């Protein structure tokens, strides 16, 4: 309800990601929990799936605009900074690999935790409210400041391609 997305099983998530690999207007990253005390990452361990982060390239007037969406579905992982981290990674990917120059999010107005992340952690600003849908729209243009922040935020990341 908070994100507008439906919960999916791990197999449904992987199937969706596989179809999206060939779709030019969508991208999803599956969020896995970290193994305590381990630097290894087993992408086949389905018990570690805790959410996803998505971008949609669906603005015909600006093909370089990406709508972001994140869901940390496992409550035991909420409030630990995971959503912020995966959003930063997705934004870095979107800018460097896809050429995104403008980000937008639409969040239920009562989802103060998500609004806080986008405004206070990622520098988005409110641009619109839709009372009928009880949504707030936030935006962030890609500029030199954001590119520098993304480089800092994502410098530790290693890319792992999933192949089932």
Average pLDDT over residues 143-148: 96
Average pLDDT, the chain: 84
What is the arithmetic mean of pLDDT over 75-89?
A: 88
- State the pLDDT at residue 1: 45
pLDDT (tens digit per residue) in 35-58: 655 555 666 666 778 888 899 998
Q: Measured at the alpha carbon of residue 75, what is the angle toward residues 12 and 106, in degrees to the nearest 5? A: 70
Q: What angle separates helix 144-154 from helix 82-93, to the nearest 10 degrees? A: 120
Q: Band the pLDDT of 5: cuts 50, 70, 90.
A: low
Render the burial of 97-109: b for 16+ CB within 10 Å, e for the rest: eeebbebbbbbbe
* Rounded Cα gap, residues 30 and 11, in angstroms: 11
Question: Does residue 107 have a pLDDT over 80?
Answer: yes
């Amino acid at each position: 309800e908070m994100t507008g997305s439906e919960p999916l099983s791990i197999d449904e998530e992987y199937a969706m990601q596989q179809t999206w690999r060939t779709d030019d207007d969508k991208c999803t990253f599956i969020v896995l929990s970290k193994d305590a005390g381990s630097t290894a990452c087993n992408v086949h361990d389905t018990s570690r799936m805790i959410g996803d982060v998505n971008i949609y390239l669906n603005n015909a007037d600006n093909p370089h605009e990406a709508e972001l969406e994140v869901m940390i579905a496992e409550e035991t992982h909420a409030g630990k900074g995971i959503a912020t981290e995966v959003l930063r990674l997705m934004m870095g990917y979107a800018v460097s690999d896809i050429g995104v120059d403008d980000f937008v999010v639409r969040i239920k107005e009562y989802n103060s935790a998500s609004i806080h992340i986008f405004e206070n952690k990622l520098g988005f600003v409110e641009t619109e409210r839709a009372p009928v849908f009880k949504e707030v729209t936030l935006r962030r243009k890609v500029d030199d400041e954001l590119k520098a922040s993304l480089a800092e935020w994502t410098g530790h990341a290693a890319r792992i391609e999933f192949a089932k």
